[in-house]
Amino acid sequence: MASPPPDPLAEAPRLMLPLECELGLTCDFQNLVDHDPGPGTRDFQCGPLTYDGHMGTDIRVPDLAAMEAGVTVRAAAAGRVLRRRDGMADNDLAPLPVASGQDARDCGNGVLLDHGGGWQTQYCHMARGSVSVRAGDELPAGAPLGRVGLSGRTEFPHLHFSVTYKGQEVDPFSPTDVAQCPLVALPEGQPAPAATEPAPTLWEPPLRPRPGGFMRLGFSTALPELDQLRRGGVALKALPADAPALVLWGFGFAARGGDEVLLRIDGPDGPLVDRRMPVEAPQAQFFRAAGLKREGEAWPPGPYTGLVELWRQGKRIDSGTLRIDLDQ
């Protein structure tokens, strides 16, 4: 009897998160591999956390300030450096013009690692001057490769991470390309299917992307612009007593049409603002803000607290609170 063909997943590298960050707090999965073969889009959970033809996994940091503070890119598994590139400028949140041919360099500054058995990983968009490895280096899992940047074709600070097997793109969340659709609604009265074995994943420990949420919350003295939030450093540390206004905002990712954002401000004497704001169309990056103007010569002394929530189909999927005091 002939032996069964080897299972490539049995020899696949087990991957750690390739960024030195805390998922859901200091980084998030912004875009996943697109599993739809046509013009539509579908991530591995049958959701919209991708775009047409996206081959890779984008792990973002909240804003330019976080990038400039330094976020280390690490080898997701032990391997040998095949190629590296450095020296391309970071593009300050503006994408490069479209180039053609093999010299397009969409990846920017990056590293390609070989893990044996046909498996490779690639790390893109790193900061200029940060790539710290050379071709031929043998690296352990977790070895630093460089820092998150804005080189190549990118509009926000992130690591574009891709996994290939014999040249074919593999989704580390779903290497067998079996759809996992926990968000699909069942017909009324139909029971949910019985639990099955966990789907294969290359992440170790297993990772799950958030379906959307907030990356930054803050107070400001005026309505911020989206570009300011993308750059960071907008949030007040203390409220000036003579500030003309107090505005609460939430800056997030992966909003869907029909979502709602709740914003509530409470002051020393009770509620000040309570608003629900709709999201009318999908937005890869979004923000909502609400506030009030100062009445009188100064804000009353005491704490001011904010609550920001993201609601989807009647369920709260993210929330955060913050507090600010008068500047002394």
* pTM for this entry: 0.89
> CA–CA separation, 119 vs 112, rounded Å?
11
Q: Which amino acid is present at 153? A: R
Residue 89 has pLDDT above 90, yes or no: yes
pLDDT tens digits for 131-146?
A: 999 999 999 999 999 9
Which positions ≥6 away from 14 have C-beta within 8 Å? 77, 202, 203, 204
Residue 17 has pLDDT above 70, yes or no: yes
Specify the 3-state DSSP secondary structure of 85: strand
Q: What is the mean pLDDT of residues 2-30?
A: 84
Residue 36 has pLDDT above 90, yes or no: no
Residue 188 has pLDDT above 50, yes or no: no
The token pair at 193 is 């299917």
In order of 126, 199, 200, 204, 249, the CA distances from 208 in angstroms are: 24, 12, 12, 11, 26
Q: What is the mean pLDDT of residues 285-292?
A: 97
Indicate the pLDDT class of residue 1, thresholds 50, 70 and 90: very low
Q: What is the mean pLDDT of residues 312-316?
A: 96
Q: Which domains does the chain have, with CATH numbers?
A: 12-170 (2.70.70.10), 213-324 (2.60.40.10)
Residue 197 has pLDDT above 70, yes or no: no
8 A C-beta contact, residue 117 and residue 11: yes
Residue 184 has pLDDT above 50, yes or no: no
* pLDDT value at residue 21: 97
Average pLDDT, the chain: 89
> CA–CA separation, 305 vs 239, rounded Å?
12
Residue 327 has pLDDT above 60, yes or no: yes
* pLDDT value at residue 46: 87
Residue 189 has pLDDT above 50, yes or no: no
> CA–CA separation, 288 vs 301, rounded Å?
26
* pLDDT value at residue 200: 87
* pLDDT value at residue 181: 60
* pLDDT value at residue 5: 47
| % of residues, the chain, pLDDT over 70 | 88
* pLDDT value at residue 38: 87
Residue 204 has pLDDT above 90, yes or no: yes
Q: What is the DSSP letter of 184?
A: P
Q: Taking the CA atoms of 108, 114, 118 and 121 in sequence, report the sign of the dihedral they define.
A: negative
Q: What is the mean pLDDT of residues 146-157?
A: 95
Most confident of 90-104, 164-178, 265-279: 265-279
Residue 64 has pLDDT above 80, yes or no: yes
* pLDDT value at residue 177: 72
* pLDDT value at residue 37: 86
| % of residues, the chain, pLDDT over 90 | 78
